[in-house]
Amino acid sequence: MSQRFKDIDYIGVFLWVFRAIIIVLVIYGTVSKLFLGVGNEYTIETWIDFFVSGLSQGSLYALIALGYTMVYGILFMINFAHGEFFMSGAMTSTVLVATFLSASGFLDAQPLVSMLLITAVSIITSISVALLTERIAYRPLRRAPRLVPLITAIGASFFWQYFFRGLFGSALIPFPVPESLQGRWTIFGLEFLRTRVVVMGTTVIALVFLYLFIQRTKTGKAIRAVAEDKDVAALMGINVDRTISITFAIGAAMAGIAGVLWGLVFRQVHFYMGFVPGIKAFTAAVFGGIGSIPGAALGGLLLGVIEAVGPPLFLEGLGIVGAHQLKDVIAFTMLVLVLIFRPQGLIGEKLAEKKA
Amino acid sequence: MALLEVNNLHAYYGNIHALKGISLQVEEGEIVSLIGGNGAGKTTTLRSISGLIPPKPGAITLGGEDLSNHKAHELVSRGVAMVPEGRGVFAKLTVLENLEMGAFHRTDKDGIIADLNSVYELFPRLAERKKQLAGTMSGGEQQMLAMGRAMMSRPTLLLLDEPSMGLAPVLVEAIFDTITEINKNGTTVLLVEQNAHMALQVAHRGYVLQTGTIVLSDSAKELQRNPMVQKAYLGIE
Ligand SMILES: Nc1ncnc2c1ncn2[C@@H]1O[C@H](COP(=O)(O)OP(=O)(O)OP(=O)(O)O)[C@@H](O)[C@H]1O
Ligand SMILES: [Mg+2]
Rounded to the nearest angstrom, the minimum Cα separation between B156 and chain A is 14
**Higher confidence at residue A321 or residue A186?**
A186
Q: Which of B19, B42, B45, B47 to mutate to test the pocket of ligand 1 (most atoms within 8 A of CB)?
A: B42
| Cα pseudo-dihedral A340, A346, A352, A353, rounded to 10 | 160
d(CA B87, CA B89): 6
d(CA A114, CA B214): 69
Contacts of A231 in chain B (CB under 8 A): 52, 72, 84, 88
Can you tell me the ipTM of this complex?
A: 0.90
Work out the widest C-alpha separation in chain B, in whole angstroms.
54
H/E run at residue B121: helix B109-122
Q: Is A180 on the interface with B (CB under 8 A)?
A: no
The pLDDT confidence band at residue A64, using thresholds 50, 70 and 90, is very high
Stretches in chain B below the pLDDT threshold 50: none
| CATH T-level topology, domain B4-232 | Rossmann fold (3.40.50)
* R_g of chain A, CA atoms, integer Å: 22
Q: Is A224 on the interface with B (CB under 8 A)?
A: yes
Q: What is the pLDDT of residue A352?
A: 43
Contacts of B14 in chain A (CB under 8 A): none
Please write the tens of the pLDDT for every residue from A83-138.
999 999 999 999 998 888 888 888 888 889 989 999 999 999 999 999 999 999 99
Say whether A236 and B102 touch across the interface (CB within 8 A): yes
Contacts of B135 in chain A (CB under 8 A): none
| Other Cβ atoms closer than 10 A to A137 | 17
- Residue of B101, B108, B136, B147 to mutate when probing chain A, most A C-beta within 10 A: B101
Residue of B nearest to A226 (CA): B90
Alpha carbon B110 to its chain centroid, in Å, reads 26
Are the C-beta atoms of residues B160 and B191 closer than 8 Å to each other? yes
Looking at all shown ligands, the one closest to residue B40's CA atom is 1
Residue of A nearest to B87 (CA): A232
Query: Where in chain B are the domains?
Result: 4-232
Say whether A235 and B101 touch across the interface (CB within 8 A): no
Query: Where in chain A are the domains?
Result: 39-341
Provide the 3-class DSSP secondary structure of residue B205.
strand
Are the C-beta atoms of residues B206 and B35 closer than 8 Å to each other? yes
Which ligand 1 atom sits closest to the C-alpha of B194? Answer: 25
Alpha carbon B158 to its chain centroid, in Å, reads 5
Residue of A nearest to B73 (CA): A237
Contacts of A234 in chain B (CB under 8 A): 51-52, 71-73
Q: What is the pLDDT of residue A135?
A: 95
d(CA A277, CA A255): 10
Q: Is the per-residue pLDDT at A25 higher than 60?
A: yes
Please write the tens of the pLDDT for every residue from A259-316.
999 999 999 999 999 999 999 999 999 988 888 899 999 999 999 998 888 877 777 7
Please tell me whether the overall predicted TM-score, pTM, comes out greater than 0.95 for this model: no
Q: What is the pLDDT of residue B169?
A: 84
Helices (H), chain A: 3-6, 10-34, 44-75, 82-93, 99-104, 106-109, 111-132, 147-168, 194-216, 218-228, 230-235, 240-266, 275-288, 293-310, 316-317, 327-341, 351-354
Pick the CATH number of A39-341 from 1.10.3470, 1.10.600, 3.30.70, 1.10.1760: 1.10.3470
Q: What is the pLDDT of residue B237?
A: 63
Please write the tens of the pLDDT for every residue from A136-185.
999 999 888 988 999 999 999 999 999 999 999 999 999 998 888 888 88
Q: What is the pLDDT of residue A5?
A: 59
